[in-house]
Amino acid sequence: MTKAGSAGETREIPGIAAAYIARGDGVLESLELTRGPWDPGHQHAGPPSAAIARAIEAAAAGHGLDHLARLTVNLLRPVPIAELEIRVREDYVGRSAGHFSARLLADGRECARITALALRSLDVPVPAGTAGHPLPGPPKPPGMCPVSHMPVFDAIGYDDLVEIRVVEGRLFDGPTAAWFRLRHPLVDGETPSPYQRVAVAADSGNGISAVMDFDRYIFVNSDLTINLLRRPVGEWICLDARTSFGETGSGLAESTLYDAQGLIGRATQSLVLRPREG
């Protein structure tokens, strides 16, 4: 495996092949690629959000529900780099839609509560002339965009798990659009689904569009909601993100989501803003 450098170069990091290893009975062993920027012992919320999407997809598939239309992850506490257990419950399953909830536990503690909506896909063409259609196309393709790296990662972590190519703006410096794709599998030995690819990337809206000085402020998100209007396609997911703050220590990060064909949905994150102590 390779570790990304600040200018796009790479270096070898032996022995790590994925974000997680499946250990059976719904348990995932977390590896170093899940590490986030806030604490070396805590995960970036993207990988566990994708692991949650994986579990919800599996539960929904048993009912023929193949489109994950919404995923809301309420982050109760930081997710440690440890064994994760995801417990999914069917709240209601009908002919066209299913509502699911889940809990994510690590080291015996509940770290996140989740709700999700899964739909049954049907072939329903949108009539010509419908307002807002055709949907907006994709931004400039990733092959035309430079590779970039999050400037807040020194150790092995999330910045090594994903490849980032900036369309417009600059990472951690205001409104930014960037393509993301997984450099390595989410779960060892598995090909990630389109929904897992979206979830890995969508939690980065707050980071890539940061407007506050990382060394002076903490601006962590306490939740993540993803709404998707159709099934994503391909390896690449683009976030066109911006962050805004009020005057009460809270804020909002909003991301418009695209794949190689065009618009797929939105993601939002509620932010807690605090000056760093010391």
DSSP 52-80: HHHHHHHHHHTTT--EEEEEEEEE-SPPB
How many Cβ atoms from other residues are within 10 Å of residue 44's Cβ? 26
- Rg of the chain (C-alpha set): 18
Residue 5's pLDDT is what?
42
Backbone CA torsion sign across 93, 225, 250, 263: negative
The tokens describing 241, both together, are 């993100």
What's the CA gap between 210 and 239, in Å, rounded?
A: 13
Using H for helix, E for strand and C for coil, what is the string for 119-137? ECCCCCCCCCCCCCCCCCC
**What is the model's pTM?**
0.94
Contact 176, 170 (CB under 8 A): yes
| Length in residues, the chain | 278
Low-confidence ranges of the chain (pLDDT < 50): 1-7, 9-11
Task: Kindly list the domain boundaries of the chain, sorted by start residue.
Answer: 2-122+140-275
pLDDT tens digit sequence for 94-123: 999 999 999 999 988 999 999 999 999 999
CATH code of the domain made up of 2-122+140-275: 2.40.160.210
